[in-house]
Amino acid sequence: MSLRETQTTIADWIRAPEGIAKALAEDSSPDLAKAKLATLIRSDETLEARARLEIYANAYFYRLLGVLSEDYEALRNLVGEEHFHDLVTSYLLVEPSRHPSLRYAGARLPGFIASHAAAEGIRERAPWAAELASFEWTRVDVFDIEDGEVLVRDALAALAPEAFGALTLRLAPWAVLRSFEHPVDDLWRAGTRDEEPPIGVGDGPVHMLVWRRAERVRHRRLEALESLALRRVEEQTTFAALCEWAATQVDENEAPALAAGWLERWLADGLLPASALSS
């Protein structure tokens, strides 16, 4: 057996979702699998080969559990350690880690909670769990997005007045818009501060902006109109077009000030890339 085959075989045993004993028993050639184990892992009077390998298998599971506990801190705290342990166990049985990096181990957990039969119990206990998980994973994703220069107010001040309307507005890659039916921001705050979850969740829609600045992930809830405005920026627009659109939503005399206020806030938050000026 080559080194690669040896590594793959041992890795498959360690990652077997229902344990090494069952993996050996359900192998297409159980006797051959047991003989292979005896060849690859040494038994002695202290510990047999299977028990020795199970030490690594248990360590692997708890490493994954630890990673998911960090990525989904609020969810874990709100549903409780025991229920979260059971959730992760069910999840890994259905969705074992497929990527060399543990960074992606929890990527499919929100979808698993939302739709898989094995997660029905958590959905009944916490109807908001899938959306909270989705929100937490969005925060994980945003943290890893590549950095870029942000558009700053001083750069805009240098623009000629007649050029301002043609300013290209687009949302930076490190800023993400999401909408939910549950107040995920309130749930996240409760879960990360050891507080009780809010009562009456599920009134929706809740529009959220999640972004990273200065190596820190931030989020804030958006009013419906600002959310729609940022959706237009996400698709790329100009400041003049944004003002024209705002005039269809509010009194046309208020629209320029409203759009200017949005732009001021987006600059302060660091949501617009500096490359907008070169468009």
Tell me 178's DSSP state: E
pLDDT at residue number 19 = 61
Distance of alpha carbon 266 from alpha carbon 279, whole angstroms: 18
Instruction: Round to whole Å and give the CA distance between 234 and 84.
Output: 35
- Residue 271 is predicted with a pLDDT of 97
pLDDT of residue 98: 80
**pLDDT (0 to 100) of residue 2:** 72
What pLDDT does residue 58 have? 64
Q: Which of 224, 231, 220, 204 is nearest to 265 (CA)?
A: 220
User: Which is it for strands 216-222 and 206-213: parallel, antiparallel or unpaired?
Assistant: antiparallel
Rounded average pLDDT per 10-residue block, the chain, 279 residues? 64 61 66 63 60 62 92 97 95 86 94 97 95 98 92 87 88 97 95 84 86 94 97 96 96 93 96 82
Whether the Cβ atoms of residue 230 and residue 177 lie closer than 8 Å to each other: yes
Give the global pTM.
Answer: 0.82
- Which residues, including other chains, have CB under 8 Å from residue 197's CB and lie 6 or more apart? 78, 128, 186, 187, 190, 191
The terminus-to-terminus CA distance of the chain in angstroms comes to 58
Taking alpha carbons only, the member of 152, 170, 155, 161 closest to residue 238 is: 170
Q: Where are the domains of the chain?
A: 3-141
The predicted pLDDT at position 51 comes to 58
